Structures are given as C-alpha cells and as structure tokens.
Amino acid sequence: MSQTFFFKKRVRSLVIFCVVALICFASSVMTQFDLSQGIAAIPKAIVWGFSSFYPTADSFVYLSEIWVKMQETLLVSIAAAATAAIFAFVFAVFGSRITKVNGFIAMLSRAFANLSRNIDVSVWSIVLLLTFGQTPITGFFALFIASFGFLTRAFMETIDESGTDPVEALKATGAGYVPTIFQAVVPSSISQIMSWILFMIETNIRAATLVGILTGSGIGYIFDLYYKRMDYHTASLVVIVIVISILLIEQISNYIRRAML
C-alpha cells in the first residue's frame, strides 16, 4: 500500500520534471539559447566588469550632467505615479464590487485598466515616441499609462478588501455617493493606497531607464549614449547613480510605510 503510494508519487514527479525539461529544451532550440554559453558568460562578465566597468576620475566630469538627467527621470516617475493614482482611484471606485455604480460602468473601467496594464510599457513608449518625440513627456505618458493600469487593479483589490461594513453604515445614515467614498472608502484604505503609490514610484524609476533607452530621454538615454560610445567608465557611473537613487527611494518609502501603519 505505502509502496505503491510512494511509487505513484515518484512517477508523477518524474513526469512533471520530464515535461518541464522538454519545454525548456524546445525553448532553447527556438531561441538558440545555450545554457553552457550562459554559464560561461557569467565569469566573463565578472572579469570584464572588474577590468573596465568602473568609474574613473575622467568620468566624474560628467556627474553633474548625469545628475540632471536623473533628476528629470525621478520627477517623471513621481509625476506619472501621482497623476495615474488620481485617475486609478476614480476607476477603482467605479470598478470595485463594493462601490460600483452599476455593472456596465464597472466592467468598462475594468476593461480599460486591463488594456493599459496588459500592453507592455515598451509598446506605449514607442507609440508615444511618434508624436511626442524625444522629450520627457513621452516618458511621462508611457509610465502614466502603465502605472494607471497597475494602480487601478491594486486599488480595486484594496477597496474590495476594506469590506462593505463602513460603506453600508454610511449609506444607512442617508449619505450620498461622494461623501460615502470620502468618509468610508478613503479613510479605510488610504495607507494601503499610499503604499501602492510608493511602490509604483520605485517601479517607475526602473521602467524609466528602459523607456529612456527606447525613446531617447532621461537617464536611460544618457546610459545608452555612453554605452554606445563604448565609454564604459561613464556608463558605469550612470548605473551607480541609478542604483543609489533607487535604494534611497526604497529606504524613504520603507520609512513612510512604517510610520503610516
């Protein structure tokens, strides 16, 4: 009895393992990915990193230029998250099952949020590049659309989780729709909402690098510039500035999160 149980379990694990291995093999063939090459690339990259990917005294000349672009990227990321949060809150209120006005509007706002979330930020940035060109506004709108989609879903879940009780209590007193939202939904979910906005800012700074490389603006552009010039010393300084900025923002948001709860 127990022997057949363990035997079946083993066979099942073996089958799952084989299926996963087969899919991986097929994927490797299709993408011409070679795991041994990949593993070999790691020591090569480390050796290269220590031998040429570090800032020298010459590259510090560009520090002020880099910092200007980093500031721009930080502002774009914050502005995109903050404005997207306002729109996302309205859509989340209409889309949440607790506060929805009617089923149709709820479905519509969910569909709209799904559309902007499920299309990758790189797609949005290329579309916006055609009209807004190499400006911070392109980056802003690309991050705005992506943040809007993500935050709407996050806010909707937050409102759903906050429960129906406060909303029903206020409805029972005869409060209108808007007062109900601001006196019941906002107070019970505001700290969670702020936490999501902070998370969005962190995510946006990382995504801004990618958007910058694609659209030629902000910190991503300046990295790409030095990278393509093969000025790896300065490029590494850009990376260091990005890493320090992100870690700093993370520390600040962690502090705010702890103080809020």
Instruction: Give the footprint of other proteins on residues 152-181 (CB under 8 A).
Output: none
Closest CB 168 distance from other proteins, rounded Å: 20
Using CB under 8 A as the binding criterion, the count of chain residues that bind other proteins stands at: 75
- Nearest approach in angstroms of CB 200 to other proteins is 11
Helix and strand counts by DSSP (H, E) for the chain? 11, 0
Query: Which of 236, 246, 180 is CA-nearest to residue 48?
Result: 236
DSSP 8-state symbol, 182: I
User: Pattern of binders to other proteins over 32-51, x per CB under 8 A?
Assistant: xxxx-xx--xx-xx--xx--
Nearer to other proteins, 15 or 247 (CB): 247
8 touches other proteins by CB under 8 A? no
Restricting to residues 207-246, which ones interact with other proteins according to CB under 8 A? 207, 209-210, 213-214, 220, 223, 227, 232, 239, 242-243, 246
Task: Give the C-alpha separation, 67 to 72, whole Å.
Answer: 9
Q: Which range binds other proteins by CB under 8 A, 92-100, 102-110, 168-176, 193-201?
A: 193-201
Structure tokens at 119: 């299309």
CA distances from 138 to 20, 59, 151, 203, 217 (A): 40, 28, 20, 17, 8
- Least CB distance to other proteins at residue 102 (A): 24
Q: How far is the CB of 230 from other proteins (least distance, A)?
A: 9
Q: Is 190 in the site for other proteins (CB under 8 A)?
A: yes
Would you say 133 and 154 are in contact if contact means Cβ atoms under 8 Å apart? no
CA distances (Å), origin 89, targets 113, 169, 239 = 11, 21, 34
Residues between 109 and 148 with contacts to other proteins, criterion CB under 8 A:
114-115, 118-123, 126-133, 135-137, 140-141
Query: How far is Cα 1 from Cα 90, in angstroms, rounded to an integer?
Result: 59
Cβ proximity to other proteins, 31 vs 102, nearer residue: 31
- 151 by Cβ neighbours in 10 Å (0-12 / 13-18 / 19+) ranks as buried
Residue 71: both structure tokens together: 């500031």
Rounded to 5°, angle at Cα 200 from 198 and 205 = 100
Smaller CB separation from other proteins, 98 or 216: 216
Cβ nearer to other proteins, comparing 99 with 204: 204
By CB under 8 A, the residues from 62 to 81 that bind other proteins are 72, 75-76, 78-79, 81
- Least distance (Å) between residue 182 CB and other proteins: 12
